[in-house]
Amino acid sequence: GENQYRIAMSVAGFAPDEITITHEQQMLTVTGAKAGEDDTEYLYRGIAVRNFERRFQLADFVTVTGANLANGLLKIDLVRELPEQMKPRRIEIHQAEALPAGEASKQIEGEKHAA
């Protein structure tokens, strides 16, 4: 939607308890830290599992509504909620009543002052 956003990150190899999402003022921080050291030697490791930290600068009035981790893809949902006084509003235009025919030709003239 117009005021809904989503951040999608690939975090293959990380469990939900190894990922931390924090939202402070206008900064969103996603941190991933593996719980323990893996001493196994690999001939080839297709997924690099190392700690990470990613920061996102959020616009005014954007809040995090939820996060979901499925199949190695972390999705963070955001929504922008403007306060009522900041939302654009339509101003009604009223039609003025017409003046009677005799009053329409009268003009008000001010006094002339010498400079």
Domains with residue ranges and CATH for the chain: 4-83 (2.60.40.790)
pLDDT at 34 (0 to 100): 84
What is the pTM (predicted TM-score) of this model? 0.68
pLDDT at 11 (0 to 100): 92
Assign 3-class secondary structure to 23-58. EECCEEEEEECCCCCCCCCCCCCCCCCCCEEEEEEC
Give the model confidence (pLDDT) of 57-79 as tens digits: 999 889 999 999 999 999 999 99
pLDDT under 70: residue ranges of the chain: 37, 99-115
H or E element at residue 103: helix 101-104
pLDDT at 100 (0 to 100): 66
pLDDT at 58 (0 to 100): 94
